[in-house]
Amino acid sequence: MTDWLSVRRGDVPLILSLPHTGTEIPVEYENNFISPWLARCDTDWWVHQLYDFAASEFDATIVRTSVSRSVIDVNRDPSGTSLYPGQATTELCPTTTFDGDYLYKENCAPNSVDISARREKYFAPYHFAIANELSRLRALYPVVILYDCHSIRSFVPRLFKGVLPELNIGTNGGRSCAGGLSRRVVDLCAESGRSHILDGRFKGGWITRHHAAPSKGVHAMQMEIACRAYLREPIEPVTERNWPPEFDATFAAPLRDVLRRILCACREFAALASKSRP
């Protein structure tokens, strides 16, 4: 692929998308940001490590960008239209953090030409890679699952009220995957004893909404995990001193067991659904 886009190809009907785990800021942009820490603050920290079992244990296909979401967010509508009308969010090329802090120095924010260039250089290849892997696997299996991996701090007042449930399942209001699959995932979350919600504040971003085609055998789901579920998330406001926490595999192990069961359910759903399709 490229030095910033990686695709690990597996042979089962399961694709994991990792759009927000990147921390790289290309040299041509780095001096425009107010600080490197602010530019990386909203990373989905350590999610690639949280799901690192997906390759070895499930042989899943994994698509990942190493470029920071502050450069361009590959999970936004490329037209710039908000996926959550009326609610606070960040843009295709974010100009603020989740907390509303400005990312760029004065007169350094990307203009329409800059945004178009970033969209062509980073956004389009990421989605081409997902589409290509879906096409490859659909040639082998009647049904394929696209599972979009995310995390966010548990408390972000600008984006949502109160404390976010630990497990937030997004299916675009039931349009991106079969009800049987989402119900099974909800049941597994309930069995885990962790707080959870289906299509709450996070209903799935552009990846889930754009690539889903249940009638054609492509079922997509977003999993947004509150950071406290797998990290020692600070109670006080995040600063450069306390954020991000280190990844502790022992602390994250209980959640990883839940995620294993969820991915297993996705794989089983694809297998059973494939038998019922011509």
| Closest C-alpha among 18, 56, 58 to residue 265 | 58
What's the predicted TM-score (pTM) here?
Answer: 0.97
Pairing of strands 14-18, 218-226: unpaired
Please, which residues have CB within 8 angstroms of residue 102's CB and are 6 or more apart in sequence?
Answer: 34, 95, 96
The per-residue pLDDT for range 114-165, each reduced to its tens digit, is 999 999 999 999 999 999 999 999 999 999 999 999 999 999 999 999 999 9
Q: Give the pLDDT score at 274.
A: 77
- Please count the other Cβ atoms lying within 10 Å of the Cβ belonging to residue 9: 14
Q: Measured between alpha carbons, how far is 44 from 21 in angstroms, rounded to an integer?
A: 5
Per-residue CA distances from 124 to 30, 44, 75 (Å): 21, 21, 11
Counting the structural domains of the chain, the total is 1
* Percent with pLDDT over 90 in the chain: 96
Range of the domain at 168: 5-276
- 178: domain CATH number? 3.40.630.40
Task: Read off the pLDDT of each residue in 243-266 and give the average, rounded to a whole number.
Answer: 98
